[in-house]
Amino acid sequence: MENKQKTIAVLTSGGDAPGMNAAIRAVVRTALHRGMRVLGVRRGYNGLINGDMVELNYLSVSDIMHRGGTILYTARCAEFREDAGVEKAKETCIKMGIDGVVVIGGDGSYRGARDLSLKGIPCVGLPGTIDNDISSTEYTIGYDTAMNTVCDMVDRLRDTSQSHDRCSVVEVMGRKAGYIALNTGIACGASVILMPEVPYDLEKDVLDKIRNAHKTGKQHFIVMVAEGVGGVEELAKKIEAATGIETRACVLGHVQRGGAPSLTDRVAATKMGYHAVELLEQGIGNRVVGLQCNEVVDYDILEGLEMVKTIDTNLVRIAEEVSL
Ligand code: F6P
């Protein structure tokens, strides 16, 4: 019997992250190298529902490794959260002869990959989010770049904060997780780091700390706050009122998601993209790929979604002790 050429599709879904393009490139190049056809699906699951896709070749992914964003565009697709949407996507896959799909995104995108896998279309998830909040992997594509961007921004803030003897309350991304806040807080020498995982007492953990450090002669302060904690404007007002130190809030926002991916993100994306194709080549779907101790691993999607990842309490302690 003649061997049918395999066709795989690749899409990016959810919030974009630097390094997604490197992952797309790895998927496309690996698949072509192994004799498969590759379709690039536009705007996440929307493209899978509407058949908005284009065949990709070696050159389609040239010169994208160093670019932020995603050449395939991305979206959060409400229709795909309903069974009817998943059913439509399945029909498109059958019509287009798609034998497997690589989904690059976060937890929400993984749930979609699970639903489509359950309908018989093998899907493999790759962790793409700056938040690093996917439990089945120690590392997510985009995390390193985003943290370097935060460091760069906060270094600039520190200059003006220092010149004015001010306190800067900085909100960094991480709706549910404090990984960015904790690591960048340490790297930027924050006096206080607030994360959703660690409850805090305003008087003791924020105001007293700043007051005490002020008494020792420290004149400017960085307070790093994860988005999931929120309320930076109010916090800035409270700090100013309680300590007498002029305080400004700064929400770094979406700049954290842009820019050229770091070396770490390019390599992580390439390793994981390569592995995703190896799985689909063998007809293995319903898996999520990740990195553990820098080695590529994969798990059943359901198992992956049920895993729990916790903040590094040792790092929290270190941050606490080294800040003034
Ligand atoms: O999940 C990545 C992330 O950047 C979160 O940190 C943030 O809360 C969210 O996406 C913002 O989403 P949007 O781009 O839809 O505003």
CA of 204 to the centre of ligand 1 (A): 30
Measured in Å, how far apart are the chain's first and last C-alpha atoms?
72
Confidence tier at 324 by pLDDT (50, 70, 90): confident
> What is the rounded average pLDDT of the residues 284-308?
97
Instruction: Give the whole-number percent of the chain exceeding pLDDT 70.
Output: 99
CA of 256, closest atom in ligand 1:
4
Supply the DSSP string of 161-189, one letter for each residue. HHHTT-EEEEEES-SS--HHHHHHHHHTT
Residues 6+ apart with CB under 8 A from 284: 122, 124
pLDDT for position 4: 85
Distance from C-alpha of 59 to C-alpha of 301, rounded to nearest angstrom = 32
Ligand 1 pocket by Cβ (under 6 Å): 15, 106, 129-131, 173-175, 227, 257
* Beta strand pairing call for 53-56 and 37-41: antiparallel
pTM recorded for the entire structure? 0.96
Pairing relationship of beta strands 123-127 and 53-56 according to DSSP bridges: unpaired
CB atoms within 10 A of CB 54: 12
Q: CB of 141 within 8 A of CB of 104?
A: yes
Residue 144 CA, ligand 1 centroid: distance in Å: 16
- Binding residue numbers for ATP: 15, 76-77, 106-109
State the catalytic residues. 131
> What is the full DSSP assignment across 28-61?
HHHHHHTT-EEEEESTTHHHHHHT-EEEE-TGGG
Taking CA atoms only, the protein residue closest to ligand 1 atom 10 is 15
pLDDT digit string (tens) for 15-49? 999 999 999 999 999 999 999 999 999 999 999 99
Cα(122)–Cα(117) distance, rounded to whole angstroms?
5
8 Å CB contact between 71 and 30: no
pLDDT digits (tens, 9 = 90+) for 104-161: 999 999 999 999 999 999 999 999 999 999 999 999 999 999 999 999 999 999 999 9
How long a stretch of residues is the chain?
324
The arithmetic mean of pLDDT across residues 41-66, rounded, is 97
β-pair partners for 22? none
Nearest-CA residue for atom 15 of ligand 1: 15
In this predicted structure, the answer to whether residue 277 has a pLDDT above a threshold of 70 is: yes
Rounded Cα gap, residues 232 and 219, in angstroms: 20
Asked if residues 66 and 263 have their Cβ atoms less than 8 Å apart, the reply is: no
Q: 41 forms bridges with which residues in the sheet?
A: 53
- Cα angle vertex 84, ends 79, 88, to 5°? 85
Averaged pLDDT for residues 54-82: 97
Q: Please give the backbone phi and psi of residue 321, each rounded to the nearest 5 degrees, phi first.
A: -75, -30
Contact 210, 167 (CB under 8 A): yes
Average pLDDT, whole number, for the chain? 97
Q: How far is the CA of 279 from the centre of ligand 1 (A)?
A: 29
pLDDT digits (tens, 9 = 90+) for 244-274: 999 999 999 999 999 999 999 999 999 999 9
Binding-site positions:
15, 25-29, 76-77, 106-109, 129-131, 158, 166, 173-175, 215, 218-220, 227, 248, 254-257
Kind plus residue range of the DSSP H or E element containing 161: helix 143-163
pLDDT number for residue 1: 45
How far are the Cα atoms of 15, 116, 178, 223 from residue 226, in angstroms, in the given order?
17, 33, 6, 10
- Look at ligand 1, atom 8, and give the residue with the nearest C-alpha: 175
For residue 40, which amino acid is it?
G
Residue 188 has pLDDT above 90, yes or no: yes
CA distance 180 to 114: 27
The alpha carbon of 121 is separated from its chain's Cα centroid by a whole number of angstroms, namely: 25
What is the chain's alpha carbon radius of gyration, rounded to the nearest angstrom? 22
* Mutate which of 12, 172, 175, 232 for ligand 1 pocket (most atoms within 8 A of beta carbon): 175
pLDDT, tens digit, 9 for 90 and up, residues 126-137: 999 999 999 999
In the reported structure, the alpha carbon of residue 9 is separated from the centroid of ligand 1 by a whole-number distance in angstroms of: 25
Task: Give the Cα separation of 305 and 299 in Å (integer).
Answer: 9
For residue 43, the model assigns a pLDDT of 98
Closest CA to 130 of 112, 153, 106: 106
| Known binding-site positions for substrate | 129-131, 166, 173-175, 227, 248, 254-257
